[in-house]
Chains A and B, each alone.
Chain A
Amino acid sequence: MKDQTLSASDERRIQEYLAGRRDAVEAELFEERMFTDDELAAEVQSALEIRAATLHAGVTRRTGRPPRRVLFALAAAAGAAFLAVGLTWLQRPPAAPVFRGVEQSMGLEVEVEGSALRARWQPIADAAGYELQVFARDGRVLRSLEADGTAAALDLGASGDSASEPAFIEVSALDELGQTLQRSARLSLPDR
């Protein structure tokens, strides 16, 4: 690897290329450059390996355009869900909005009522502690909370600008050195 660094725009291009977020023409140009730029190619390969090694099913990620059949299926599912929600609302009296999300890989359950967030998660063997992180929509960590037990509560605060609105939450089980043993999926938080 050369002792040089790529530009900030190159770094974003690598992210977008690996996530499948570049259109066909952009991806082709990127690949053409990758063949003539050894430094770029080396970083793409490293990034791909890191991504493959650390990626887990629960990470929320923007991807390229889904196939048309999937779009039809999603549209049908959305229509059915809309109808089901409409029927439920007709039958139930109004209630305070409560959000629940459950992920089975490393169990994380979250409830949000107003600005109060309560989280519970599955205990992990050999974990010395847990780290609960709240992210903005762009992936920035907004809040980080360390806990010894398997539950935590925090106040998400008043809604500010939309860019700093809490959008996702995840919990990590840490060993004594602070290394991640296991991580939950990143759950979406409801809009407030």
Chain B
Amino acid sequence: MTEANYVRQPSDSEGDPGSEAVDLGDLDLWRRFHARLLILGMRRLGNRADAEDMAQDALQRVVKALQENRLREPGALPAFVYQTALHVCQQSWRKRYRERHALEGYARSSLEENGVAQPLTDLIDEERRRVVRLALQSLAMDDRELLEQLYTRDVDPEQLAGRLGISSGALRVRKHRALKRLSAALGEEVTQ
């Protein structure tokens, strides 16, 4: 689905605002942006519950804006979702600031000060980790090792390519194929 499918043109708004097309659009909007909203929220708000709330709130605002035809330029949708998410994060911060100020009499709501930020990996629950682990184990050793080297051990891609005796471009192609095989394995797992 492209941005143009989400953004209804003026003539569309004359129809039923609660039509099925809008609902399907909402679902697709959720599928497309929910994961990245969670990641953004986790990094900025520091915990999964607040990130979930932020993602939900931001998507509701975007859907409302689309239904009210406040976004006319289809290409601007991703930036609009991003800006909406930032706005919701800021509101969340202000709310936290006020609550903390009221409770403790001083305002020190920075995550850095409190040291409570959770790592982004905390977004992935135990069940999903188990499913991904099983899918990884179903891959060939080369694929699994490649993905773990890149994403778990943070090995520099160029150095990894050098160690494997291939070019950086070939490594990227190999990684891309490994990710596709992982996606396929996850698809099988999800349908079980």
Mark A residues whose CB is within 8 Å of B.
1, 3-6, 8, 11-12, 15, 18-20, 27, 31-32, 34-36, 38, 41, 43-55, 59, 61-62, 65-70, 138-141, 178-179
Q: Which residues of B contact A18 (CB under 8 A)?
A: 120-121, 151
- Please determine whether B155 and A50 come into contact, CB atoms closer than 8 angstroms: no
Could you list 26 examples of A-B contacts with CB < 8 Å? A1-B179, A4-B176, A8-B158, A8-B168, A11-B157, A11-B172, A18-B121, A35-B33, A35-B78, A35-B79, A36-B78, A47-B151, A48-B123, A49-B129, A52-B123, A52-B129, A53-B128, A53-B136, A55-B121, A59-B153, A62-B154, A67-B113, A67-B115, A140-B155, A179-B141, A179-B144
16 further interface pairs, Cβ-Cβ under 8 Å (given A8-B168, A59-B153, A62-B154) = A5-B173, A6-B172, A8-B158, A11-B150, A34-B36, A45-B36, A48-B123, A49-B124, A52-B121, A53-B133, A67-B115, A68-B112, A70-B115, A139-B149, A139-B156, A141-B163
With contacts A8-B172, A43-B179, A48-B121 taken as known, whether A67 is within 8 angstroms of B112 at the C-beta atoms is: yes
- Please determine whether B150 and A15 come into contact, CB atoms closer than 8 angstroms: yes
Most chain A beta-carbon neighbours within 10 Å: one of B130, B148, B163, B183: B148
- Please determine whether B172 and A50 come into contact, CB atoms closer than 8 angstroms: no
Q: Which A residue sits closest to B37, measured CB to CB? A: A35
A45 to B36, CA, bound (A): 8
- Please determine whether A139 and B153 come into contact, CB atoms closer than 8 angstroms: yes
Q: Which residues of A contact B144 (CB under 8 A)?
A: 179
Q: Which residues of A contact B19 (CB under 8 A)?
A: none
Q: Which residues of B contact A47 (CB under 8 A)?
A: 150-151
Measured CB to CB, the closest approach of chain A to B83, in angstroms, equals 9
Q: Is the interface of B mostly helix, strand, loop or mixed?
A: helix
- Please determine whether B35 and A45 come into contact, CB atoms closer than 8 angstroms: yes
A46 to B175, CA, bound (A): 11
Q: 6 closest Cβ contacts across the A-B interface?
A: A67-B115, A52-B124, A53-B132, A52-B121, A35-B82, A139-B155
Q: Mark B144-188, 1 if CB is under 8 A from A, else 0.
A: 100111111111111100010000110011011001101100000
Q: Which residues of A contact B149 (CB under 8 A)?
A: 139
Measured CB to CB, the closest approach of chain B to A41, in angstroms, equals 5
With contacts A47-B151, A67-B112 taken as known, whether A140 is within 8 angstroms of B176 at the C-beta atoms is: no
B114 interfacial contact with A, CB 8 Å: yes
Q: Mark B103-146, 1 if CB is under 8 A from A, else 0.
A: 00000000011110001111110001110110011000100100
